[in-house]
Amino acid sequence: MYGERLERWEKIVEWPLTAAAVLFLVAYAVQIIERDAGSASAVAEVVLWVTWGMFGIDYLARLTLARHRGRWFIRHLLDLAIVVLPMLRPLRLMRFLAILAIIQRSSGSMLRGKVAAYTIGTTILVILIGGLAVLDAERGHGGSIQSLGDAVWWSFVTITTVGYGDYFPATVSGRIVAVGLMIGGVALIGVVTATLASWIVERVSTETGSVAATQDQVDELRDEIRELKAMVRDLRGCSDTPQVTPSRVSQSDTLGS
């Protein structure tokens, strides 16, 4: 009963939470880029807290509807961190985890055929969010990352584990973002590799099945050819057997008389 109610709740809030995540991303970007604009930053802050309230309500609802709440709580510690940690002002960089969590929840039911599109979209989103997070952490602290372009470039080279070294975070918060991006980059490479390997295995198994099917057909044709040869041999045997004609029968009767 609880499992069905939880599934029903997740289906109901899937699209509203997705829309909230998009609004959250926009407000997060506006708040970082337009830091000096008081009105825009204030509106973005309100949107952040409203969407954050939706995430909190969703977490409490899922915890209440879970069949085994203790087990569910242990398995969803990341969701708890997403709700609790960003409430603390020094941990603002943790806010981008909310968007990644919403993506992760919706990606669990995706087929492998959609993994490529999902991976590309997630990579672009993570690069953008990582750039915003490191810009939020680094701007105004005298580091080399002071603009959105520099932050996005740094995020791109970091997630690919290239690391040119032309831009680097100088604050502890920025380095935490860097660690998360590097781990995310390795994970994305693993996903791509696993997907490619799975595709190759499927293709090989399909080709093997086709070859097996062809071999079976050849064996059937061989059996049919053997049967045809046997039939032809039987017909030849019947044709070689001497037959008694009516004329011969009449001559033998005459001689006997």
The gap from C-alpha 190 to its chain's centroid, in whole angstroms, comes to 11
Residue 9 lies in a domain: yes
Residue 141: DSSP 8-state? T
Residue 14 lies in a domain: yes
In angstroms, the CA 111 to CA 203 distance is: 16
Residue 38 lies in a domain: yes
pLDDT at residue 151 in the model: 92
Residue 54 lies in a domain: yes
Residue 187 lies in a domain: no
| Cα 48 to Cα 16, 34, 99, distances in angstroms | 15, 15, 12
Q: At what angle do helices 172-240 and 115-138 cross, to 10 degrees?
A: 170
Token digits of residue 16: 């509203």
pTM of the model: 0.62
In angstroms, the CA 33 to CA 26 distance is: 10
Query: In the structure, what pLDDT confidence band is assigned to residue 257 with cuts at 50, 70 and 90?
Result: very low
Query: In the structure, what pLDDT confidence band is assigned to residue 90 with cuts at 50, 70 and 90?
Result: very low
Q: What is the mean pLDDT of residues 250-254?
A: 48
Residue 103 lies in a domain: yes
DSSP H or E segment with residue 88: none
Choose among 191, 130, 132, 118: nearest CA to 158: 130
Per-residue pLDDT at 73 exceeds 80: yes
Q: What is the mean pLDDT of residues 140-152?
A: 87
Per-residue pLDDT at 154 exceeds 90: yes
Residue 53 lies in a domain: yes
Number of domains in the chain: 1
pLDDT averaged over the chain?
A: 75
In angstroms, the CA 15 to CA 5 distance is: 17
Per-residue pLDDT at 119 exceeds 80: no
Residue 38's domain comprises 1-109
Query: In the structure, what pLDDT confidence band is assigned to residue 36 with cuts at 50, 70 and 90?
Result: low
Residue 24 lies in a domain: yes
Please indicate whether residue 199 or residue 129 has the higher confidence score (pLDDT).
129
- Contacts for 185-188: CB closer than 8 Å, 24+ residues apart: 185/158, 185/159, 185/160, 185/161, 186/161, 188/119, 188/122, 188/123, 188/126, 188/159
